[in-house]
Amino acid sequence: MKYVSYVHNGIESYGALYNGAVYPARELSRGAPGSLLEFIIDDAEFDRDAASFANASPIPLSNIKLRAPIPTPRREIICLGKNYADHANEVKVTAPSGGALPSEPVYFGKSALSVIGCGDTIPLHENVTSMLDYECELAVVIGKKCVDIRVEDAYDYVFGYTVLNDVTARDLQTKHGQWYLGKGLAGFCPIGPVIADRREIPFPDRLSIRSRVNGEPRQDANTRSMIFTIPYVISQLSHGFGLYPGDIIATGTPAGVGHGFDPPKNLRRGDTVECEIEGIGVLVNTVGGGADE
């Protein structure tokens, strides 16, 4: 099952993407919660029987405006820095770990208010940065409360997976000696277009991950190259920190970001960025101007 949040005829809703159309939640589940986040928190399910879809009234994708699957997360997006060795080597100068490969996961956060959806405009923020970059990442959506869980049980707590673009202002990232501001500006966290539930993605550690800018291939790797695995990260965060339904973990990006080229290939106004992960979909955004574009 693939889940989407959307706007149709001015009304915000969510549902299932099936055979190229969207099936509203209210038609697939009696008493469906009001949002996909509430659906995850309630540990709800849609009826997967083909008859349920046959009796529902789908909405063509062309008639809706996709939103981020969880438009307003309950707390910050939890991110991993330098979780692919090739990316760590291509951006050696960025703080805090310098050029060394991390011996333990490097965590940071992106503001929940920085989230935008597929098709939304990435603000250029020309007043504060001149070095805008992209990072295609697999994101994990937590489905159950995780406290002090074992590594071998971690996947039982996953709701599903989505695509995330960890947009970054490289000059701010370097200037401030940490990553919060350079990665947390408004509109710097495109997510989508769907959440694929964990049954759709049985092997999240074996997925191709790619990005393109204006059709030019940039990143091309596989999630098997992660330094720290998804179960390891979930288990570690469950101890002391705790994870909750709807939490989103961005698992890092492979080599091929703009900052890794010589000279750097910074994003410019009008550029179209595509982030694609096998089995999930393609997250597409265009770079605009101000934060309101």
In 168-279, alpha helices (H): 170-175, 180-184, 230-238
Between residues 27 and 233, the one the model is more confident about:
233
Residue 20 has pLDDT above 70, yes or no: yes
Distance CA 68, CA 209 (A): 19
Return the residue matching tokens 């590594």: 151
Give the predicted TM-score (pTM) of the model: 0.95
The residue-averaged pLDDT of 134-158 equals 98
Q: How many C-beta neighbours within 10 Å does residue 97 have?
A: 14
Residue 179: band (very low, low, confident or very high) from pLDDT cuts 50, 70, 90? confident
Q: What value does the CA radius of gyration of the chain take, rounded to a whole number of Å?
A: 18
| Residue 292: per-residue pLDDT | 44
C-alpha dist (Å) from residue 145 to 188, 194, 244, 248: 27, 22, 4, 13
Distance CA 69, CA 192 (A): 6
Burial label for 145, CB within 10 Å (0-12, 13-18, 19+), is middle
The residue-averaged pLDDT of 233-241 equals 98
| Residue 289: per-residue pLDDT | 65
Helix and strand numbers (H, E) in the chain are 7, 19
Residue 133 has pLDDT above 70, yes or no: yes
Residue 293 has pLDDT above 50, yes or no: no
Task: For Cα atoms 171, 172, 175, give the angle at the middle one, nearest 5 degrees.
Answer: 85
Which of 115-119, 211-215, 286-290 is the least confident region? 286-290
- Homologous superfamily (CATH) for 77-287: Fumarylacetoacetase-like, C-terminal domain (3.90.850.10)
| Residue 15: per-residue pLDDT | 96
Task: Provide the residue ranges of all domains of the chain, joining segments of one domain with +.
Answer: 2-67, 77-287
Cis peptide upstream of residue 264 (ω within 30 degrees of 0): no
Residue 242 has pLDDT above 60, yes or no: yes
